[in-house]
Amino acid sequence: MTFVITQRCCSDTSCISECPVDCIRPRPEDPEFQTAEMLFIDPDTCIDCGACADACPVDAIYSEFDVPEEMGRYVGLNAAYFERHPLDSSMDGMALGRRRLPESLGTLRVAIVGAGPAACYAAEELLSLGKVEVEIFDKVSAPWGLVRTGVAPDHQETKGVANMFATAFRSEAVNFHLNVEVGKHVSLAELLEHHHAVIYAVGAASDRRLGIPGEELPGSHSATEFVAWYNGHPDHAAGEFDLSGERAVIVGNGNVALDVARILTVDPDQLARTDIADHALTALRESNIREVVVLGRRGPVQAAYSTSEFLALGYLDGVDVVIDESEMVLDETSQAVLDDPEVEPSLTLKMEIAREYADRPVTDGNRRIVFRYLVAPTELHGTDRVSSLEYVRNTIDENLNAVATDETGSIETSLVLRSVGYRGAPVADVPFDEARAVIRNDRGRVEGLSGVYTTGWIKRGPRGVIGTNRADSAETIAMLIEDFEAGQLTAPAGSRSELSALIAERQPELVDKTRWGVIDAAEKAAGTPLGRPRVKFLSIEELRATVK
Ligand code: SF4
């Protein structure tokens, strides 16, 4: 018997260090780690101990006999990975720091700006080193960043990673300073006065634009705003999305696009059992949207969505996935990619799934998610709001780039959501690379600023899944520790209590760890009678009422 990794894999790699026979791949040091959609278990080596399943923060690992029917294909997918990448245990274990700081150096004090996954993995890594004190700052009044406000509400298991962080951060070594904005309530210089080091883990707060006429029309939004709205992000809770039309168009076909397509089409009764924001649930119950069209500028072979998320769409109740046969006619270059004997099994499966969708009949009365490929929007039309999207057909050149043809077309729609990628925003007092939209850094050390570091999307760009941040943060912490041990970090002049007093004076409505504990418990308690994991408090008034 073997264990099998399935759809929800977050690539966190917690399982790898638990495996007594080292049969989970790829590891962070393997070249394939940067591009693999998930981790896999070698069925020929697995000794069926179950340790990986216990360690997995998102419950993605099953015994092969317990794999849910809709995930049955992962048994073969795990095995197929090792046909392409035979197990080689010759490399040393993970190149992540897992040692103790010398007592003689005293307590290392670090401020982390941001409370999302990259920040939390950095804090976890610091905690594993011994005598540390970590202060986590976020301008939002709740922790966990995109785990709380980005992961779709119908993917509750993925949010399980927050439980792992919450358990680790029970330690008094970690403090929260939420609802506190660095650069407004406290400066970088002040943080450096109170810490050996400051780590920026602020993510990619902005999104890429289409740059086409009509993009500013009402009815045209970024998917980022829509996701933040249905997830109850306080800055976006008041957003308004017109769901009165029958068709929405999503530009871009990554996993965020698939999240949005699912939320717009699944039965709201299913979402009512999640932590979706109440205002979004009400709006989705009243929605007239029957069809969501997902546009990709390249072909199905180059589609950005992961195989697992694409496969899962096919199991949605009351939703048909529609792909016209003509979309499956491949150009020579894409066909050659598929015919390559070295092709990744997950890509082969992705195409198999697309062909199955193309062959499936549709059911009267079902909502639809329609995939269109080789299509790029050129203009949004409408007088006072969006009424249609004009597009050009693309072809694929020998370098697998999309190239526009003369063929054009139009899709009637009243809602356009662009989902063409996140983008980092400049951070006050820190050097910023405008072209790459990241903080200028070398392996996490911020250029020209001693004691300042960065991790996550604002360090490397918006790539990878939640767990990808673990290795990234480990690299940053390794640099920080190297500098600390070399005596290159200035010892803090101010104490921890002086810092807390300063923050409390500047921001009386700060949410510290105790206050967050009260809010967290109250949100969960509000969800219990409704069969929901929590009911999110969105406004500052709700929060005030909870923590007074
Ligand atoms: Fe490794 Fe045990 Fe998981 Fe098999 S079940 S992959 S041996 S940890």
Q: What is the pLDDT of residues 380-389, one digit of tens each?
A: 999 999 999 9
Domain ranges of the chain: 3-84, 103-205+424-511, 211-420
- Residue-wise pLDDT for 166-197, tens only, equals 998 999 999 999 999 999 999 999 999 999 99
Between helices 223-230 and 278-285, what is the axis angle to 10°? 110
511 pocket-lining for ligand 1 (C-beta < 6 Å)? no
204/163 Cα distance (integer angstroms): 23
In this structure, are residues 232 and 151 in contact, taking their beta carbons and an 8 Å threshold? Answer: no
CA distances from residue 80 to 32, 201, 339 in whole angstroms, order as listed? 14, 36, 16
Distance CA 4, CA 242 (A): 42
Quote the pTM value.
0.87
| Of residues 239, 290, 245, the one with CA closest to residue 264 | 290
211-420: CATH number? 3.50.50.60
| Continuous segment of H or E residues that includes residue 378 | strand 375-381
45 within 8 A of 89, measured Cβ to Cβ: no
For ligand 1, mutation pick of 52, 66, 75 (most atoms within 8 Å of CB)? 52
Q: Please state the separation of Cα 26 from the chain's center in Å.
A: 19
Query: How far is ligand 1, taken at its centre, from the CA of residue 12, in Å?
Result: 16
pLDDT of residue 3: 92
By DSSP bridging, strand 402-412 and strand 388-396 are: antiparallel
Is the CB–ligand 1 distance for residue 62 below 6 Å?
A: no
Q: pLDDT 10s digit of each residue in the chain, 548 long?
A: 789 999 889 888 989 988 888 999 999 888 888 888 899 999 989 988 888 998 898 889 999 888 998 899 999 999 999 988 988 765 444 444 457 888 889 999 999 999 999 999 999 999 999 899 999 999 999 999 999 999 999 998 888 889 889 998 999 999 999 999 999 999 999 999 999 999 999 999 888 999 999 999 999 999 999 999 999 998 898 889 999 999 999 999 999 999 999 999 999 999 999 999 999 999 999 999 999 999 999 999 999 999 999 999 999 999 999 999 999 999 999 999 999 998 988 899 999 999 999 999 999 999 999 999 999 999 999 999 999 999 999 999 999 999 999 999 999 999 999 999 899 999 999 999 999 999 999 999 999 999 999 999 999 999 888 888 988 999 999 999 999 999 999 999 989 999 999 999 999 999 999 999 999 999 999 999 999 999 998 876 776 676 65
Q: Ligand 1, closest atom to CA 3?
A: 5
The DSSP result for 56-72, as a single string, is -TT--EEETTT--GGGT
d(CA 238, CA 128): 40
Q: Hey, what amino acid is at 165?
A: F
> Is the previous residue joined to 218 through a cis bond, with omega within 30 degrees of 0?
no
Q: Which atom of ligand 1 is nearest to the CA of 41?
A: 6
Locate the ligand 1 atom nearest the alpha carbon of residue 55 and give its number: 8
Residue nearest ligand 1's atom 8 by CA: 19
Angle at 61 between CA 60 and CA 63, to 5 degrees: 145
Question: Rounded to an integer, what distance in angstroms lies between the CA atom of residue 133 and that of residue 136?
Answer: 10
Nearest CA to ligand 1 atom 2: 49
Give the per-residue pLDDT at 89: 60
Tokens in use for 390?
């004009």
Rounded to whole angstroms, how far apart are CA atoms 282 and 238? 13
Sign, Cα dihedral of 152, 157, 163, 164: negative
- The full length of the chain comes to 548
Ligand 1: which residue has its CA nearest to atom 1?
A: 19
For residue 167, what are the CA distances in angstroms to 11, 96, 146, 162, 170? 20, 21, 18, 9, 6
DSSP secondary structure string, 44-108? Answer: TT-----HHHHH-TT--EEETTT--GGGTHHHHHHHHHHHHS---TTS-S--S------GGG--E
pLDDT at 98: 52
CATH class of 103-205+424-511: alpha beta
Residue 226 tokens, joined: 């829509």
Show the tokens assigned to 73: 């294909």
Amino acid at position 232, single letter: G
CB 369 within 8 A of CB 357: no
Q: What is the per-residue pLDDT for 157?
A: 85
> Could you tell me the CA-to-CA distances from 72 to 6, 46, 378, 401, 437 in Å, in that order?
9, 18, 41, 34, 40
Coil vs helix vs strand at 53:
helix
Whole-number Å distance between alpha carbons of 51 and 428: 44
- Mutate which of 18, 47, 67 to test ligand 1's pocket (most atoms within 8 Å of Cβ)? 47
3-state secondary structure of 220: strand
Instruction: State if residue 87 touches ligand 1 by the CB under 6 angstroms criterion.
Output: no
Neighbour tally for 115: CB within 10 Å: 29
| Close Cβ partners of 325 (under 8 Å, ≥ 6 residues apart) | 358
**Ligand 1 site, residue 50, Cβ cutoff 6 A:** yes
Q: Looking at the DSSP assignment, which residues form a beta bridge with residue 390?
A: 379, 410
For ligand 1, whether the C-beta of 24 sits within 6 Å is yes
Distances (CA, A) of 504 to 180, 350, 500: 10, 52, 6
Whether domain 3-84 has CATH 3.30.70.20: the reply is yes
